[in-house]
C-alpha cells in the first residue's frame, strides 16, 4: 500500500493530521496510509458536544489541546504514549473497510506475537482489553478510517480529561478504565517509535512525501479545524432535550420548538454518520413537532443513510418515549 512518510515533520497537532486526510482524500487514486505522531490531546467525534465530553478545566490546566474530528464516534485521549493511523480509500463500504484495514493492523501486531481480535463497533482488543478505538466516515471521494494505538498512554490523564471534575468519579474511573483498556508497552521489546516503524513497514509498499505545495494547502485546511465555529458548532439553543443509547451508539436530541414548530434541531453523540447531517436537519425545520408528523417525514427517508444502523423507530423513541 502507498504510504505517506511524515517522519521529518516530527510531532504535530491533531488538526494537522485531520487536514492531511481532507486534503488527500479527493486526490487519491489508490489506498493511502500514514501515521500520526502526537502531542497530548483530546479528540471528540464530529457529532459530540465538547463541553459534555471533556473536562475543559483540567485540559486547559495541563496543556492538553482539544479538537473535533470529522468522523463520528466518541471522545478519545491521546498523548506521547500513543500514536494514531489513517487509511484513505475509494471503498465506501464500512464493513469491508473495517475488516480489510484493521486486519492489516491485526496482522502487523501478530508478527510481534500479539494476538489481536476485533470487538464491538470499532475496537481492537489484546488479552480481552481495548488498545485501539477506530472511527470511520465516507463521502463522495471515498472513506477515511483512523484509529488509536495505545503503547504507554497515561490512564490517569485519560480519565481526568474525559471525566467531569469530581475527584471521586475520577478515582473510580481510573480503576474501571484499567480493567477495560491495555497498553502494549509491557508486551513488546521495542519503544513506541519501534512499534510505529514496524506497523508502517508492514503496511507500506511505496512511500510518498509531502511537497511544499502540499504542505502549504494542508496548513490552510488545518486552520478550519481550529476555529471556534468548528469546535462549538453543535451547541445551538434548545427547548427540548433527551438522550438515549442504542446498539449503534449514544445519541442526544436538542430541539428548539417555538409555537409548536421546529426552529432548530441537532443530534449529538458518539454514533457514526455516512453523510453530513445538515441535510437531515433541514427536513424538520419549520415542521410541526409531533410524533405523527415526524413519522411521516422519517417514513420518506432512510435514516440509516445518515446515522449508521439507526432506524426511524429509534428517532421516534428518542423524541417521544
Give pLDDT tens digits for 63-113: 999 999 999 998 999 999 999 999 999 999 989 999 999 999 999 999 999
Question: Which of 43-57, 101-115, 154-168 reaches the highest mean pLDDT?
Answer: 101-115
Interacting residues of 273 by C-beta distance below 8 A, sequence separation 6+:
46, 47, 72, 137, 306, 307, 308
Q: Rg of the chain's alpha carbons, rounded to an integer?
A: 20
Q: What is the mean pLDDT of the chain?
A: 93
- 233 touches 278 (CB < 8 A): no
Give pLDDT tens digits for 243-280: 999 999 999 999 999 999 999 999 999 999 988 899 99
Does residue 177 share a domain with residue 279?
no
CATH, residue 82: 3.30.930.10
Does residue 261 share a domain with residue 217?
no
Does the pLDDT of residue 167 top 60, yes or no? Answer: no
Kindly state the average pLDDT of the residues 201-230: 97
Q: How many domains does the chain have?
A: 2
Does residue 304 share a domain with residue 213?
no
Rounded to 5°, the CA angle 106-108-113 comes to 85
Q: Which of 232, 266, 290 is the last residue of a domain?
A: 232
H-type helices in the chain, by residue range? 14-24, 50-53, 56-61, 94-110, 155-162, 167-178, 192-203, 212-224, 228-232, 278-284, 291-299, 312-320
Does residue 180 share a domain with residue 160?
yes
Percent residues over pLDDT 90 in the chain: 84
Strand partners, 265: 255
Does the pLDDT of residue 170 top 70, yes or no? Answer: no
- 121 touches 139 (CB < 8 A): no
Kindly state the average pLDDT of the residues 194-211: 98
Does residue 32 share a domain with residue 174?
yes
Burial pattern 67-96, b for ≥16 Cβ within 10 A else e, equals: bbbbbbbbbbbbbebbbbbbbbbeebebee
Does residue 66 share a domain with residue 162?
yes
Q: Which band of pLDDT confidence, cut at 50, 70 and 90, is reported for residue 174?
A: low
Does the pLDDT of residue 171 top 90, yes or no? Answer: no
pLDDT value at residue 206: 97
Q: Which of 174, 205, 232 is the last residue of a domain?
A: 232
Does the pLDDT of residue 234 top 70, yes or no? Answer: no
Does the pLDDT of residue 180 top 90, yes or no? Answer: no
Does residue 52 share a domain with residue 36?
yes
Does residue 228 share a domain with residue 108?
yes
Give pLDDT tens digits for 204-214: 999 999 999 99
Does the pLDDT of residue 165 top 60, yes or no? Answer: no
Range of the domain at 84: 2-232
> For residue 37, how many other CB atoms are within 10 A of its CB?
17
Reduced DSSP (H G I as helix, E B as strand, rest coil) percent helix, strand, coil of the chain, to 5: 40, 30, 35
Choice between 165 and 173, residue whose per-residue pLDDT is larger: 173
Does residue 140 share a domain with residue 18?
yes
Backbone angles phi, psi at 303, to 5 degrees: -60, -30
CA neighbor of 284 nearest in space, from 257, 310, 308, 309: 257
Does the pLDDT of residue 172 top 80, yes or no? Answer: no
CATH, residue 259: 3.30.390.50
Q: Which of 216, 232, 248 is the last residue of a domain?
A: 232
Does residue 294 share a domain with residue 216?
no
Does residue 6 share a domain with residue 137?
yes
Euclidean distance between CA atoms 68 and 42, whole angstroms: 8
Does residue 216 share a domain with residue 263?
no
Distances (CA, A) of 96 to 60, 102, 118: 39, 10, 13
Does the pLDDT of residue 27 top 50, yes or no? Answer: yes
pLDDT value at residue 168: 47
Kindly state the average pLDDT of the residues 284-307: 96
Amino acid at each position: 500500500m502507498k504510504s505517506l512518510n511524515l517522519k521529518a515533520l516530527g510531532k504535530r497537532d491533531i488538526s494537522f493530521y485531520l487536514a492531511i486526510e481532507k486534503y488527500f482524500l479527493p486526490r487519491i487514486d489508490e489506498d493511502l496510509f500514514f501515521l500520526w505522531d502526537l502531542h497530548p490531546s483530546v479528540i471528540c467525534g464530529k457529532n459530540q458536544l465538547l463541553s459534555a465530553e471533556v473536562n475543559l478545566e483540567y485540559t486547559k490546566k495541563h496543556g492538553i489541546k482539544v479538537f473535533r474530528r470529522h468522523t463520528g464516534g466518541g471522545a478519545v485521549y491521546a498523548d506521547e504514549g500513543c500514536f494514531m493511523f489513517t487509511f484513505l480509500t475509494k471503498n465506501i463500504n464500512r464493513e469491508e473497510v473495517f475488516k480489510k484495514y484493521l486486519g492489516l493492523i491485526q496482522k502487523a501486531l501478530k508478527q510481534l506475537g500479539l494476538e489481536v481480535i476485533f470487538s464491538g463497533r470499532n475496537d481492537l482488543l489484546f488479552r480481552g482489553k481495548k488498545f485501539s478505538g477506530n472511527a470511520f466516515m465516507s463521502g463522495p471521494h471515498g472513506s477515511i478510517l483512523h484509529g488509536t494505538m495505545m503503547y504507554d498512554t497515561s490512564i490517569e490523564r485519560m480519565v481526568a480529561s474525559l471525566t467531569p471534575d469530581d475527584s471521586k468519579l475520577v478515582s473510580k474511573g481510573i480503576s474501571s478504565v484499567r480493567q477495560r483498556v491495555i497498553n502494549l508497552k509491557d508486551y513488546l521489546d521495542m519503544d513506541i517509535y519501534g512499534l510505529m516503524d514496524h506497523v508502517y513497514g508492514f503496511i507500506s509498499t511505496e512511500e510518498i512525501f509531502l511537497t511544499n505545495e502540499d504542505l502549504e494547502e494542508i496548513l490552510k485546511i488545518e486552520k478550519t479545524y481550529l476555529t471556534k465555529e468548528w469546535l462549538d458548532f453543535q451547541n445551538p439553543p434548545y427547548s427540548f432535550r433527551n438522550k438515549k443509547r442504542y446498539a449503534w451508539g449514544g445519541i442526544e436530541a436538542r430541539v428548539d420548538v417555538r409555537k409548536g414548530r421546529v426552529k432548530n434541531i441537532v443530534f449529538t453523540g458518539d454514533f457514526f454518520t455516512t453523510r453530513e447531517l445538515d441535510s437531515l436537519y433541514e427536513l424538520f425545520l419549520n415542521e410541526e413537532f409531533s410524533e405523527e408528523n415526524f413519522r411521516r417525514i422519517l417514513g420518506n427517508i432512510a435514516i440509516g443513510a445518515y446515522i449508521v444502523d439507526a432506524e426511524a423507530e429509534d428517532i421516534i423513541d428518542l423524541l417521544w418515549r
